[in-house]
Amino acid sequence: MTNCTTTEIQDAASRLCRMKLAAPVLIRRGTRNWVFQCRVNGSNPDRSVIVKAAHATKDLLAPEAFALGLLGAEPRTCHRVPRLLGYDPVTRLLAMESVGPAKSLEDLLNGTDPEAARQALIASAHALAELHAATSRLPERNEPTLAADQAAAFLNGLPAITGFFAQAGVALTESARAELSAVADGVARPGDKLAFTVGDMAPSNILITKSGPVFIDFEYAGFRHAFYDAVFWRCICPFPAMIVTAMDEAYRQGWSDAGSPMTNAAFTESMALMTAHRTLWALTWGTQALWAADSEWAPRVSGRLLVRLWLRGFHTLASTGKTLPRLAEAVHGLDNALGRHWPETNHAPGLFPAFEPSSR
């Protein structure tokens, strides 16, 4: 509905969710969707509806509607997502209940209260595990998944990955190359870790409410390896070691609380596998440009620093669990080489204001 007025979107959304909406406020003008918050006429003043209007060539609201419908129907997950009110593929509108007063995890990480940020992260890891464990037993998991496609994409990216190592002056042994193929195989065959995943674990997509974390933005959701989400505290937004350990424990506990306990060995193997996948796959995402010049990949955070943090996180995890040893050795060599190529990343500040010494 790109060419529609705000009033027309409001009226179409009112028909979609069968309630009278008023006072639409544009809260995000994204590259794919516009997001409005509308008040529900004649209701509690705090009740509102979030309306997404797709305007990109590819409508990503369909997977989000499926995700909200699937998770909203499950007793263990319905309180972790907004309630879906309606989706129309013709007008490309999606309406969902607002979760009410909340702070995004991003706001807490950029704040000055380290304990509030820590508690929110731990609660998010536990809630994520419950979501994964609950959906790992659904009959829908037998439908076609993203796993095979992502494994194929990883294999297609191997020339770029090996080229990045070569540019840094690090040679990959045959054993390390074999372990790269093993990573792709593990991604394609998640086994009992095949679960419904959020797909985009940006801190802005986790809202902290009085009743706990709520996940939003399921445009890239689908059935794949559960740890595709779980690596977010290791190789998407790497946190301090003590936070990572606490989130690991909360995630394992969440699986157990949902009736699917996992051993320490199973946890470490899955985390190392998917950390290797996300870390090395990231070397195909425009990292070649970092050789010429650094750039900001996140607020206040350079791409060069993030690449090194991801590499270091995988090496530490794999070395501890004795998983993918040759690949871990090669990644350690790459990190050291990048330290020589990019010396400014050897003494870098923390990623999040909440965990910087000045916030204490």
For residue 181, give the 3-state DSSP assignment: helix
- In angstroms, the CA 187 to CA 215 distance is 23
Please, are residues 93 and 9 in contact by the beta-carbon 8 Å criterion?
yes
User: Which three-class secondary structure state does DSSP give residue 292?
Assistant: coil
Task: Show me where the domains of the chain are located.
Answer: 6-97, 103-359
Q: Is 47 exposed, middle or buried (0-12, 13-18, 19+ CB in 10 A)?
A: middle
Give the span between the Cα atoms of 233 and 214, in whole angstroms.
Answer: 17
pTM for the whole structure: 0.93
Q: Is the dihedral of CA 105, 305, 269, 198 positive or negative?
A: positive
b vs e for 196-233, b when ≥16 Cβ sit within 10 Å of the residue's Cβ? bbbbbbebebbbbeeeebbbbbbbbbbbbbbbbbbbbb
**What Å distances lie between residue 75 and 2, 72, 258, 331, CA to CA?**
36, 8, 11, 42
Residue 137 is encoded by which pair of tokens?
A: 């037993």
Per-residue pLDDT for the chain (360 aa), expressed as one digit of tens each? 556 788 889 999 999 999 999 989 999 888 888 999 999 987 666 689 999 999 877 788 999 999 999 999 999 999 999 999 999 999 999 999 999 899 999 999 999 999 999 999 999 999 999 999 999 999 888 776 899 999 999 999 999 999 999 999 999 999 999 999 999 999 999 999 999 999 999 999 999 999 999 999 999 999 999 999 999 999 888 899 999 999 999 999 999 999 999 999 999 999 999 999 999 999 998 899 999 999 998 777 899 999 999 999 999 999 988 899 999 999 999 999 999 999 999 987 677 899 987 544
Class of domain 103-359 (CATH, top level)? alpha beta
Q: Rounded to an integer, what distance in angstroms lies between the CA atom of residue 111 and that of residue 13?
A: 35
What CATH number should be reported for the domain whose range is 6-97?
Answer: 3.30.200.20
